[in-house]
Amino acid sequence: MGGSSWLCDAPDRERLLEMGRRMRRSRAIMFALAFAVLVVCAPWMGWWMPVGLVAAAVGFLVTDQLMERMRRPEFAYLGAWVHAQCWIAGAVALSGGPRSPAVLWLAFPVASLPGRFTSRGLAAGVGLTLALLVAVTVGVDPQAVADAPELVLFPAVVVWSIPLLSYGLMRSDVQHRMESVVDPLTRMLNRKGLEVRATELAAQSALSGEPVGVVVGDVDRFKAVNDEHGHAAGDAVLAELAARMRTVLRAYDSAYRMGGEEFLVLVPGATPAETSDLAERLRAAIAREPVAGVPVTMSFGVAATAAGQGFAFPALYALADAALYEAKAAGRNCVRGGGPALAATAA
């Protein structure tokens, strides 16, 4: 997909599409309820309102199809959102302006902006909604607003409050989810994050046939580091070691702290030889110079599937873990498994 825009950051674009898929049922129920209410009220308010609501619903249905094929789907959603908001504003203007029972409906579309757009996009949506609110209340019946300012002020507070509360809840949920899958010491993903990614890779590998590699690494004699230098020094070693590993990994490789001094790397698209080569580069990067002032080395075990073989994480992890034990038995600071054994003498 394309780069970031003022509406949506590039990394959040997939979340925008996923949220759209998940919200379709809820949105359909909301439209159905609103349509039922408008049909009941049609003898007093006119049939044009339920017809307009159907047009807004169709706009979202068409947008759902377009978004899946666009490089920047946020602009398609913005178009449907503006269309729906303008329809609501028209309904307010034609059904009494500031005294219309539909005036609070302007807050419904605003509630859908947090989580989809950036804070700039959210601010723009709120600003447009407030402008429409003023236009269809003050612009339609300024005397009624002058006599009862609450007709505008109360809906304005609702328009502001709903996105603010939704944005705060959304950011809290995102932060909670991040903390649940990220190791606080190394800032690597943990076992819970590994489970999610392994499931994704299994599905991708089944469709594409591409191989997947697994690298399991363990710090050699880490207990001695804690005993000789203290646990604070041991934590510093793990944190810097994780940072050094990240400088070797590709952008689409994913690293995890399995617990203690054990790490794991998932290497999508890597053959057995390429997986072994990555493990060797990780080993060399760690052994090249002291980590947080402490000379340490790591042993690695690797395993990888062949192209078209499919990816079953438990079986591949077991092979890589067994290869790690071979590396430990071979004298540490070496790589085993995944094809020809790779070994090196500690610096």
Q: Identify whether 5 is part of a domain.
A: no
Instruction: Identify the active-site residue in 195, 261, 262, 326.
Output: 261
Query: In the predicted model, what is the mean pLDDT of the chain?
Result: 87
pLDDT-wise least confident of 139-143, 146-150, 304-308 = 304-308
Three-class secondary structure of residue 337 per DSSP: strand
For residue 229, name the pLDDT band (cuts at 50, 70, 90): very high
CA–CA separation, 347 vs 332, rounded Å?
12
Is the pLDDT confidence value at 133 over 60?
Answer: yes
Weakest mean pLDDT among 29-33, 128-132, 218-222: 29-33
**If you average pLDDT over residues 272-283, what whole number do you get?**
94
Q: What is the pLDDT of residues 65-106, one digit of tens each?
A: 888 788 888 899 999 999 999 999 998 998 899 999 889 999
From 150, 181, 212, the end of a domain falls on 181
Does residue 175 sit in the same domain as residue 233?
no
Distances (CA, A) of 149 to 154, 155, 159: 8, 11, 16
> Given this model, what pLDDT does residue 340 score?
39
Buried b (16+ CB within 10 A) or exposed e, 221-257: ebeebeeeeeeeebebbbbbbbebbeebbeeebbbbb
Domain boundary residue among 181, 201, 233? 181
What's residue 343's pLDDT?
38
| Distance of alpha carbon 103 from alpha carbon 133, whole angstroms | 8
CATH number at residue 223: 3.30.70.270
Q: Domain range for residue 219?
A: 191-343
Nearest residue to 88 via CA among 119, 72, 109: 109
Q: Report helix angle 73-94 to 119-137, nearest 10.
A: 20
261 is catalytic: yes
Count of domains for the chain: 2
Regarding whether 144 and 20 lie in a shared domain, the answer is yes
Reduced to 3 states (helix: H, G, I; strand: E, B; else coil), residue 126 is: helix
Residue 179 has pLDDT above 80, yes or no: no
Q: Strand 298-304's sheet: what is its strand order? A: 254-259, 262-268, 212-219, 298-304, 334-337, 342-343
User: Which of 161, 181, 201 is the last residue before a domain boundary?
Assistant: 181
* Strands in 230-276 per DSSP E: 254-259, 262-268
Query: Does 73 share its domain with 156?
Result: yes
Q: Cβ distance 305 to 212 under 8 Å?
A: yes
Of 11 and 136, the one with more pLDDT: 136
